[in-house]
Structure 1
Amino acid sequence: METTKKKRKRKKNNIKIKLIVLFIITIIIAQGVSYYEKSLTAVDSNAPTEITLEIPSSSSTTKIAEILYENGLIRNKLIFKLVVKNKSAGNKLRAGKYTLNTGMDIETIIGQLSKGRSSENTIRFTIPEGYEIKQMAEKLSKEGLVNKERFLQLTSDKKYFQDKHLFLKELEDGQSLEGFLFPSTYEIFINSKEEELIEKMLSEFEKIYDKEIKPKMKEMDISLNEIITLASIIEREGKVDKERELMSAVFHNRLKKGMLLQSCATVQYVLGERKEVLSEKDTRVDSPYNTYIHKGLPPGPIASPGKSSLIASVNPADVDYLFFVLTGDDGTHTFTNNYKDHLNAKPKK
């Protein structure tokens, strides 16, 4: 009889425990639902405060959530992201300058960002692919966007930006930002400082680097400086995107064989002008950047490579070409694997 009583008692205790656990779970769920619902509401609807902020171009939902949270406009970053996902609004959020307030709930904020209420106090600028820093400084100065001397000073040494852009720490001390300011079209606030323009270009480079370059570099015995230097040469030598991976193969093959790269673009960088035809004297100019007299890659990039050249630098075509020469009116080249064919491919004068 005692055994039966014990079993009944144990059964009752188990039921009590299950009820208690169920009660606790119910409370947790209720609190979670309550917290979720509260997170959807305005941070301060009683005394709304206006806040002006900027959503940079190409910002992810995570980045936007961080900006809103840091400015005290939302209660929870994760819940903001969940709402955006549930509303399929991720691709609708637009970059720009916004004036929001703490009296807006999450749905209102998402609605405002989807409308793209960008401020009229912005201006766009474009950096063409293949530009050198000195060309950027000249262009931006003429457009009234920067002080030329300050821009050149800030871009002359990576130390000014390496604490925020950690990839710069992989470069040599004192190295400039040549090659690392991504060429594209940007939107900035009027009266933005030189640092802000440079930050935008470095951030855009970093996105391409993290996604397209860094994973590939792990498979190659080459440094960041070397791969961007190679990409800059491809940028300056190439005329059409479809040939960039072939050019990359030519330079990779020459490096492996210990051949001179003999890139006209590197000599043009030394000369400070883009001569259509180099003289024999030009190709003998004394500079570590002259790949006609020095083996290997030059000390650093010679221009800012675009996305196609950056990707090509770590994705050389699987070919044995060692030479190329401009032969097409459309900017195309003829590629060969021996010097005799290379000479025969040259356009007859």
Structure 2
Amino acid sequence: RRALELSLKRKKKNHMTSDNREQEIEALKARVLGGDLTPDTLRALANAQEAQSAEAAMKELLVVGRRVRVPRGEARARAMVSSLNGDGTIDVVYFDSDAEATVRCEEALALEPFEEEEGKEMSQDAKILKERGSILFKLKDYVAAAECYKRGLDSMKRQYRLSVGALVMLNYRNALRVGTASCLEETSVDVSYEDGSPDDDDVPRRAIVAVLPPDQETRILMLTTYLNLARCASHVGRNKDAVVCATLAAGIAQHDEHTDHLITAKILRSRAHLAQNHLKQALRDSAAATELAPSDHKSVQLLARDVERAKRAALRANKQLAKEVSTWVQSAQSKFAEQGGNEADCAQQ
């Protein structure tokens, strides 16, 4: 009964608001037709009409069951409207979890037109998917953006399969390299290199981490898609995935000598390592980015600063831990000696 009362009250309020807006617009139109063409009147009429259009769009958007994009933390995510609360808020259920939230009506955004393709024939063009992912990334919907980037990469993977003459990236003998598959066996691949390095024979197929497009333009598309996917992974806390994507991007960038993209890959991977407290790896990538980049590269400078701070914090923590352990050992030895034991025997135990 209470819910019904709130629903009726909300409909009455919305109807009154709509009537008031219409009356305001009609009054302003009458003034204009009567010869009042002052900037203030014309601006007021334009603002009222714009507000009326926005209210109509919001009324159409905020329907129970409608899919919308709403805030989640510092980002945004897709959700379904589950309830209209009548107090300027709505309840939503997020797509990718069972989590619910209450958000302000004005914070809800319509999904992009291409997102409504779900259930229909969706684009498989890697370039289009990357562009769509970038639109969603700017909206801070990193989960939806990542889905577009992944679909784009999957499309390229289906197009470029392992075969004789294929350009491959392999993780072999503790190194990430790009070469050409010269012979395929059931469980292994022979790989040759353009730089004159000795061929690698009988490389296990599991060491092939990617088959790359033969043309440089499409490789750049793959490279930048991996970089964007690494950014998405970092934003949602999937730092291991960010490391993998940045590593693959770095492999392509290094092969094609794209220094700017290589620097970006090193920065992204260093920050992903830093988020996991992998200080050694973060220091290594930070040093590599510093060596590659010009001295005034702001992102590299900020990374070096953050890595150095983490290093100092780790040193302080280690010193504090060593001090606490030393104090504990001394206390244990003293107690052991008080009980008639030998301190050296205590240390051995």
Q: TM-score range by the shorter chain?
A: under 0.3
Structure of greater relative contact order (alpha carbons < 8 Å, 6+ residues apart): 1
Higher helix share: 2
Higher strand share: 2
TM-score of the two chains, using structure 2 as the length reference: 0.24
